[in-house]
Amino acid sequence: MTTTDLRRIRALVVLRLAEVLAAQRPLVPAVLFVVLVLVLTVNDPSSAPGPWPVTVPVLSAASTWLTLAATNTGEDRTVATAAAGGPGRWAVAAIGAALLLELPPVVVGALLPALLHPAGYPPAVIGGAVVAHLTAAMAGTAIGLGCSRPVVDRPGLAAALAFVVVVVAATVPWLPPVGTAVRAVGEGTPSVADPVVAAALLGVVSVGWWARSRRG
Handedness of CA 192, 181, 116, 65 (dihedral sign): positive
141 in Cβ contact with 67 (< 8 Å): yes
50-105 pLDDT, tens digit per residue, is 899 999 999 999 999 999 988 886 555 554 554 556 677 888 889 999 999 999 99
Per-residue model confidence as pLDDT tens digits over 95-131: 999 999 999 999 999 999 999 888 889 998 999 999 9
CB atoms within 10 A of CB 12: 21
Domain of residue 115, residue span: 3-215
Contact 125, 184 (CB under 8 A): no
Number of structural domains the chain divides into:
1
Angle at 109 between CA 28 and CA 191, to 5 degrees: 130
Residue 134: count of CB within 10 angstroms of its CB: 22
| Residue percentage of the chain with pLDDT more than 90 | 58
This model's pTM is above 0.85: yes
Report helix, strand or coil for 75: coil
